[in-house]
Amino acid sequence: MHEAVNHFRISGDGFYSKKCNDFFKYNYKFKNNFLTPSCTAALEMTALLMNIKPGDEVIMPSFTFVSCANAFVLRGATIRFIDSNYNEPNIDVSKIEALINKNTKAIVAVHYAGIPCEMDELIRIKKKYSLLLIEDCAHAIDSYYKNRPLGSFGDFSTFSFHDTKNITCGEGGLLVVNNKKYVKRAEIIREKGTNRTAFFRGEIKKYSWVDIGSSYLLSDLSAAYLYGQLMNIKIIQSKRIKIFNRYLAILNKYNKYFKVPENFIGKKYNGHMFYIILKTNTEKAILIKHLSKKKIQAVSHYVPLHNSKFYKDKNYGSLCKNADLYSNRLLRLPLHPYLKMKDVDYICENILNFYEN
């Protein structure tokens, strides 16, 4: 942070912003990177770049965070929600084609818990119907599908560097533009609708207002913190994956009580989150209370968006029974780099004691 201040430019696109962009280019081959104040901002930029307007439809999973839908609803789009898979919370790709019509503009794939969606089928559908594909990689930095980094498949991909994510700067995000058609406009929208970026490159003598946009730059102070995290990403990821694997090795033996994450063939996960799927909502509530007494914080996750107070009467998607199931039965266990293996063992021991007693 001290070095960032000494560079005398702590606003966006400063010294450390460029260092972060170079990291993404070198390590993941992301060519067009735009650091943003949040993943929400990156999604909103995506909606602007796509020229989303009233009457357009966007297909996405119901079991996701509200920002994923809000970015497109703000532009007037109708959201068509798709259910989760039976065996995991990710989008059920087999149900997408039934909802595609002449108004469909895009599909959003959310890589829940850092575990990749079925990208081969999503790419097939995208090409068949000439749709745009957005990857919501908020959970998924450094996860891979068939040895290819998540974020490299979509026309647009968004990442989160929120405090709860593997790599963080408190609040921050990233928009990756893989479709070259949108790169120049992304620069403009991100700079309040001006051609200021071209001015800084010396391409024009003055910059001016040329399009719609907003202030979507991450400060260089935040980028400095983020760069420090990126320099330690191998250490951070290694710790998280070890914890994930420890949970998996212990709890996988007790699938008569609950389900653990599965479906990893061809997928490299990043240890963002470990969860178990219980048999009933009541059982989950009792287990949460039991673990709380042992000083273990275990929590549920999303209310599916198709059932949200805001969108319930507007839902134009299909039934999302599996998303409802995950909302009622999914329980997230503690997972962070400071968790020790003895802590994981203690958590597992108390979960198993709950069931065996």
Q: Which segment of 22-26, 100-104, 198-202 scores lowest on mean pLDDT?
A: 198-202
Look at residue 318 and tell me whether its pLDDT is greater than 90: no
Structural tokens at position 104: 């469909």
CB atoms within 10 A of CB 102: 5
Predicted local distance difference test score (pLDDT) of residue 314: 73
SS3 275: strand
CB atoms within 10 A of CB 216: 23
Q: Where in the chain is the domain with CATH 3.40.640.10?
A: 2-231
How far apart, in whole angstroms, are the C-alpha atoms of residue 334 and residue 312?
31
CB atoms within 10 A of CB 312: 10
The band of 262, judged by pLDDT with boundaries at 50, 70 and 90, is confident
How far apart, in whole angstroms, are the C-alpha atoms of residue 290 and residue 216?
43
CATH architecture for residues 2-231: 3-Layer(aba) Sandwich (3.40)
Predicted local distance difference test score (pLDDT) of residue 104: 98
What is the percent of the chain where pLDDT is above 90?
A: 90
H or E stretch covering 251: helix 233-251
Look at residue 22 and tell me whether its pLDDT is greater than 80: yes
Predicted local distance difference test score (pLDDT) of residue 35: 98
> Do the beta carbons of residue 122 and residue 97 sit within 8 Å?
no
Q: In terms of pLDDT, which residue wins out, 6 or 307? A: 307
How far apart, in whole angstroms, are the C-alpha atoms of residue 255 and residue 244?
16
Instruction: Write the pLDDT tens digit of every residue in 208-231.
Output: 999 999 999 999 999 999 999 999
Give me the CATH code for the 233-356 domain, please: 3.90.1150.10
Predicted local distance difference test score (pLDDT) of residue 10: 74
Angle (nearest 5°) at CA 49 between 43 and 50: 90
Write down the pTM of the prediction.
0.95
Average per-residue pLDDT in the chain?
A: 95
How far apart, in whole angstroms, are the C-alpha atoms of residue 125 and residue 131?
8
CB atoms within 10 A of CB 162: 17
Q: Phi/psi of residue 155, each to 5°? A: -60, -35
> Do the beta carbons of residue 220 and residue 16 sit within 8 Å?
yes
Q: Where in the chain is the domain with CATH 3.90.1150.10?
A: 233-356
Determine the longest span between alpha carbons in the chain, in angstroms: 75
